[in-house]
C-alpha cells in the first residue's frame, strides 16, 4: 500500500480508507492479518498513535478483529459488507448527485446514458 495524505480529513481516516480499499480490490483478503502498528507506522512514516486510531476505527466498524497474541485480522464477510456499503452509497448519494448535476446543466437522460456507455467501453 502506498498513500499520499491530503489535508481534507484526518490521516487516521485516510489510512482506514486505504485499508478498506485494499480489501475491496483484493490486496488484503478476509482472514489475513494486517501488518503490526509498528510496521504500518514505519511504512507510512506515521505516529503509532495515528495508526492505533485507524485500527480502533476499523475494529469499531467490524472490519478488523483483534486476535490476542497474533494481531489484527480482517473479519470474514468484510468484503461483501464493504461492497454493499459502497453500492448503497453510490446508488443513494453519488448517483443522485450526478443526476442533480446533469439536470442543473441541462444534460438529458439520453445524453447521460450515451456518455455512460462510452465511458464503460473505455474502462473495460
Q: What CATH number is attached to the domain comprising 40?
A: 1.10.10.10
Predicted confidence (pLDDT) per residue in 4-52, tens digit: 788 889 999 999 999 999 999 999 999 999 999 999 999 999 999 999 9
Does 18 share its domain with 50?
Answer: yes
Cα–Cα distance measured from residue 70 to residue 122, given in angstroms and rounded to the nearest whole number: 44
102 CB neighbour count, 10 Å cutoff: 15
Predicted confidence (pLDDT) per residue in 65-105, tens digit: 999 999 999 999 999 999 999 999 999 999 999 999 999 99
Q: What is the pLDDT of residue 2?
A: 60
Closest CA to 13 of 22, 24, 5: 5
Instruction: Name the residue range of residue 41's domain.
Output: 11-76
Category of 77 on φ-ψ map: left (φ > 0), alpha (ψ -120 to 50) or beta: left
Does 83 share its domain with 49?
Answer: no
Q: What is the pLDDT of residue 40?
A: 94
Task: Give the position of cell 503490526.
Answer: 36
Predicted confidence (pLDDT) per residue in 112-124, tens digit: 999 999 999 998 7
- End-to-end C-alpha distance for the chain, whole angstroms: 24
Predicted structure pTM score: 0.82
Does 58 share its domain with 98?
Answer: no
Phi, psi of 64, deg, nearest 5: -110, 150
Amino acid at each position: 500500500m502506498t498513500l499520499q495524505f491530503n489535508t481534507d480529513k484526518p490521516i487516521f481516516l485516510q489510512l482506514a480508507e486505504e485499508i478498506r480499499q485494499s480489501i475491496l480490490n483484493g490486496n488484503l483478503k478476509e482472514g489475513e492479518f494486517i501488518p503490526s502498528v509498528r510496521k504500518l507506522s514505519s511504512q507510512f512514516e506515521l505516529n503509532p498513535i495515528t495508526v492505533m486510531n485507524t485500527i480502533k476505527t476499523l475494529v469499531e466498524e467490524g472490519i478488523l478483529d483483534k486476535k490476542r497474541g497474533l494481531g489484527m485480522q480482517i473479519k470474514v464477510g468484510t468484503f461483501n459488507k464493504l461492497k454493499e456499503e459502497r453500492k448503497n452509497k453510490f446508488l443513494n448519494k453519488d448517483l443522485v448527485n450526478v443526476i442533480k448535476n446533469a439536470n442543473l446543466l441541462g444534460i438529458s437522460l439520453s445524453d447521460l446514458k450515451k456518455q455512460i456507455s462510452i465511458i464503460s467501453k473505455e474502462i473495460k
